[in-house]
A and B are shown apart, each in its own frame.
Chain A
Amino acid sequence: MADGGVRGSPVWRLLRLLFPAGYREEWADEVLRTHVDAAGGERTARGAAFWGGLALDAMKTAVALRLEAMAGVDSGRRSRRSMFDAMSYTMRMALRGLVRTPGFSLSVVLTLALGLGANVTIFTALDRLFLQAPAHVAAAESVRRIAVYGINPFSRQQTYNRAMTYPDYRDLQTVSGFASVAGHTARSLTLGQGLESERINTEWATASYFPLLGVQPALGRFYDTSEDGVGVEPVVVLSWSFWRRRYNGDPAILGMALTIGKGTYTVIGVAPRGFTGVDMAPVDAWLPLHTAGGLHQGGDWMEARSWYWFAAIARLSTSVAEAASEAEATAVYRNGRKDVGGTDPAARIATTPLIAARGPQPSGEARVTQLLGMVALLVLLIACANVANLFLARGLQRRRALAVQSALGVGRARLVGQLLSEAVLLAAAAGALAFLIAALISPALFRVLLGDNAVLAAGTGRVLSFTIVLAVLTVLMGGVGPALQAARVDPFEALRTQRSSSRSSWLRGVLVAVQAALSVVLLIGAGLFLRSLAQAHRIDLGVDLDAIVIGLELNDGTIFGENIVGTTYTVVERTRAHPAVASATLTNLAPFSGAWGITLDRPGPDSVAVGPRGPFYHAADRDYFRTLGMSITHGRALNEADEHAGAQPVVVVSRSMAREVWGSESAALDQCLIVRPSATNSTCTTVVGVVSDVRAQVTDAEPRMLYYLTTRHPNVTADGGQVVMVRLREGAESQIRSLLQAIRETAGNIRYVDATPLRSSIDQQLRAWRLGAVLLTAFGLLALAVAGSGLYSVLAFDVAQRRFELGIRSALGASSRRLIRTVVTRTLLVIAVGMAVGVASAAGLSRLIASLLFNVEPVDPLAYIIATLVLGAGALLAAGVPAWRATRVDPRTAMAVE
């Protein structure tokens, strides 16, 4: 069967159920087959567009069929006109009914709009993260990100690693299962000179990158292989937004020369609007990877198999199965690395999805968004329960009216139709409002989720379909039950008394309990994320986060090693002398912004392998450890004498490196390390000290192995740049500007200076938890508000219903307290039951998010207690007003009404 796969899908099996039985048996399969045909056959019939269209069709048809049946149209006998008349009559009646009770209508619309709005907003984000391929990529389904799956030598865990070395990349180009392979990496570089200069986001990409992705330039052209080489005339392609922003979209930009980083690049093209490569981060300019690598990388970047500095993508060949391509790539990879120390022999090449969120290691943002999707559904469930309750209450209020209609011979189908029409109208209004809410909120959410410059390219059509589908589902969930119940009215019973039946009050109790339970779950979730965030903040990374990172770019190349220029020292000296500065140090890379590995050796049989966790080096000087708040555990720190030209080369190693390489910290002292060993270089660099560990990431189980070479060490190069790290004096934060000015004035060859707090690089790592904490708290409070208003309306309704009884009690001398207890006790009991269920469910559910938490047990007592207290307080607040009103019932008017 051609459409067996789609037909077997659970989505279709659910959708089928929408049709009335007769139609389903006769036509459902045909409907599906025609959709599959329209989509171009079984192989292409999938994805959001296909399912969305199918779902929409099924729903519209099902509604039309049922309305047909409800209006009593025996298909073919009566004209469609009369069906339309019946429908529009029902709708008009419903509308009139709703306008007559604005309070009810408004609260339903608002509650639903909040619930729907939350979902539509999150769907917009999910759509962007999970459903849309990067913009402008042609035939995105055959593009893969290449990752190495293997045991990380230090964490001892199986991980996917996308960082690639150049020789490995070169080897992968020979894989026949890859139609094309491209490399890319993002770097921040300085554009322009002096005061005009600006940091821009560049992406270094091989010439194969653009043809592989199938993207076409908006202006000019992309570069070809001959322009992507070491030492060739540099060329650059600008992004659309950068071209518009900085050059006002002037087409004369083509042929212009731009100074970017260490090169002067000729502009040859502009990428199409919205194109940001394969990642979501904004890109200002694309530089040829080999050209930029030759200018900036230095050293043996083309040969070092320990230098993981870019990522690779591939387009799969149509003639080779993906698994075969992976196997071939793995063989090539292993062969290339067979003599490389520290390589996991079982490591294999994995081709992972282009849409990163669907890949094996989705970002924290993607996982949080996924979680939020579930959370938003919970909020919607709460809203549905709330709306169902409102409908029930309304049904009770209208029992007499319905009873009269029923007594007059209006059929049940007709009554249900009338009540459902109300639900449909309300859902339509709520859906429209939700769509507006989402349109207003999602840009803000995107900024929070994906960073400032995230490109918002939501597929409006899909979002709209999603809203409609969800609104319809909401009506089914919130409106059908109450409508059925209200229509099941016994005229005699209803006309005899005003009181609600015990059955419906039981149902309303359950709905309140459900809301309480779901709210508790959400609040506990929020609590867990807040606790995670607090824990992550508390983690000791090994450095003082108050330090300031001053990025420095000089016009004359290398500033480290034997050729270190005088300017650099002058800059550091000036900085140290500045009144705002307590201490300052010169290094190549700030902590948390990566570190470089170079080949290492030690006298003896085996060399020291450099793996993904190090050993990596930092350039350092006498004030490095003091400025960053690190402590020497053995031996001594670097000192001024070590920085003199011709001084004996020395190194300070981290505790973890000392233990890993020499067995213990004390054993490392006075040992010899050969940096960049070669036939001509066997100079010993002596270990003079052991210093406390630094973690590269908050989540790192183990610290990195690091070693610290002096800035003048002959084998240190300016790989990656130069920064001055500063620790300010107490209360001197306001003087950073004057400090930067002083540095700028030090020498004419300073091209660019900027200052960022070291803490901000950690903020990036804390994003996922902060996101979870902020958004879950927002959702938790939203849920609380919705549930609170639900509780309020239930109680208010109860009080109104029981006015007569309360009036009598009051007349008989019941105290206010007693009256309050009469009204509130049962409801609060219901809520307590709901909360208990919620706590139990949260204990089960929270295991699912355990991997998103940090150093917090899924069953964290504090989070559970606080959530329960918050909900309890909310419930008391919501119950307070109706309770107070109960005490104000005047016996005379209450009884007069009845």
Chain B
Amino acid sequence: MRDLTPVELVVLAALSDRARYGYELVQRIGELTDGRVRMRPGNLYRVIQRLMERGLVNERSPGGRGEDERRRYFRATAAGCRVAAEELAMYGRVLERSRGLKERLADG
């Protein structure tokens, strides 16, 4: 399994807790990244398509409470959640072990 790109990782993270549709996803990504990552819809669906082909995300027909019949909902699969978690954990360890980076972070 190849590594995830940062954008793919963020999309997976945004889809890990519950199913979301396009604009919800854009907003959630904004929340997760303090507004640093603003995804263009066209690009978003490119990424989703790629993740779906890899089995990391699947589409779910709407039916949950408050969900809109006309929208398409996406959610990270178990594999997607696992890959994302592993990747993030790996980044966490890298950060933990890079003293220079940690100090910078602490300096704020």
CB distance A80 to B71 under 8 Å?
Answer: no
Of A30, A57, A76, the residue contacting B53 (CB under 8 A) is A76
Q: Assess A30 versus B22: contact at CB under 8 Å? Given A23-B49, A75-B50.
A: yes
CA–CA, A75 and B2, complex, Å = 12
CB distance A37 to B23 under 8 Å?
Answer: yes
Nearest opposing residue in chain A for B45, CB measure: A27
| Residues on A with beta carbons closer than 8 Å to the beta carbon of B22 | 30-31, 33-34, 37
CA–CA, A889 and B5, complex, Å = 60
Task: Give the Cβ gap from A654 to chain B, nearest Cβ, in Å.
Answer: 66
CB distance A76 to B54 under 8 Å?
Answer: yes
CB distance B53 to A35 under 8 Å?
Answer: no
Asked if B93 is at the interface (CB within 8 A of a chain A CB), the reply is no
CB distance A34 to B44 under 8 Å?
Answer: yes
CA–CA, A76 and B2, complex, Å = 9
Asked if A895 is at the interface (CB within 8 A of a chain B CB), the reply is no
Q: Assess A30 versus B50: contact at CB under 8 Å? Given A57-B41, A60-B42, A61-B43.
A: no
CB distance A79 to B2 under 8 Å?
Answer: yes
Asked if A139 is at the interface (CB within 8 A of a chain B CB), the reply is no
What is the 8 Å Cβ interface bit string for chain B, positions 57-91, against chain A (1 contact, 0 not)? 00000000000001110000000000000000000
B27-59 contacts to A (CB < 8 Å): 40-46, 48-50, 53-54
Asked if B15 is at the interface (CB within 8 A of a chain A CB), the reply is no
What is the 8 Å Cβ interface bit string for chain A, positions 460-473, against chain B (1 contact, 0 not)? 00000000000000
| Residues on A with beta carbons closer than 8 Å to the beta carbon of B43 | 57, 60-61, 64
A250-294 contacts to B (CB < 8 Å): none
CB distance A34 to B70 under 8 Å?
Answer: no
CA–CA, A37 and B46, complex, Å = 18
CB distance B23 to A23 under 8 Å?
Answer: no
Asked if B12 is at the interface (CB within 8 A of a chain A CB), the reply is no
Number of interface residues of A (CB under 8 A): 26
Task: Give the Cβ gap from B45 to chain A, nearest Cβ, in Å.
Answer: 4
CB distance B23 to A75 under 8 Å?
Answer: no
| Residues on A with beta carbons closer than 8 Å to the beta carbon of B5 | 80
Task: Give the Cβ gap from B66 to chain A, nearest Cβ, in Å.
Answer: 15
Of B2, B42, B50, B71, the residue contacting A61 (CB under 8 A) is B42
Number of interface residues of B (CB under 8 A): 21
CB distance B40 to A75 under 8 Å?
Answer: no
Asked if A321 is at the interface (CB within 8 A of a chain B CB), the reply is no
Task: Give the Cβ gap from B86 to chain A, nearest Cβ, in Å.
Answer: 17
Q: Assess A38 versus B46: contact at CB under 8 Å? Given A1-B70, A31-B41.
A: no
CB distance B53 to A75 under 8 Å?
Answer: yes
CB distance B2 to A57 under 8 Å?
Answer: no
User: Which of B40, B46, B50, B70: most chain A Cβ within 10 A?
Assistant: B40
CB distance A31 to B42 under 8 Å?
Answer: yes
Asked if A742 is at the interface (CB within 8 A of a chain B CB), the reply is no
Nearest opposing residue in chain A for B8, CB measure: A80
What is the 8 Å Cβ interface bit string for chain A, positions 49-68, against chain B (1 contact, 0 not)? 00000001110111011000
Asked if B11 is at the interface (CB within 8 A of a chain A CB), the reply is no
| Residues on B with beta carbons closer than 8 Å to the beta carbon of A80 | 5
CA–CA, A34 and B44, complex, Å = 10
CA–CA, A692 and B43, complex, Å = 72
What is the 8 Å Cβ interface bit string for chain A, positions 1-12, against chain B (1 contact, 0 not)? 110000000000
Task: Give the Cβ gap from B14 to chain A, nearest Cβ, in Å.
Answer: 14
Task: Give the Cβ gap from A72 to chain B, nearest Cβ, in Å.
Answer: 15
| Residues on B with beta carbons closer than 8 Å to the beta carbon of A35 | 41
| Residues on A with beta carbons closer than 8 Å to the beta carbon of B2 | 79
CB distance B41 to A30 under 8 Å?
Answer: yes
- In the complex, the 5 A-B pairs of residues with the closest C-beta atoms, listed nearest first: A61-B42, A37-B23, A34-B22, A34-B41, A27-B45
Q: A31-B45, A34-B44 are in contact. List 12 more A-B contacts (CB 8 A).
A: A26-B45, A27-B48, A30-B41, A31-B42, A33-B22, A34-B41, A38-B23, A58-B42, A64-B46, A75-B50, A75-B53, A80-B5
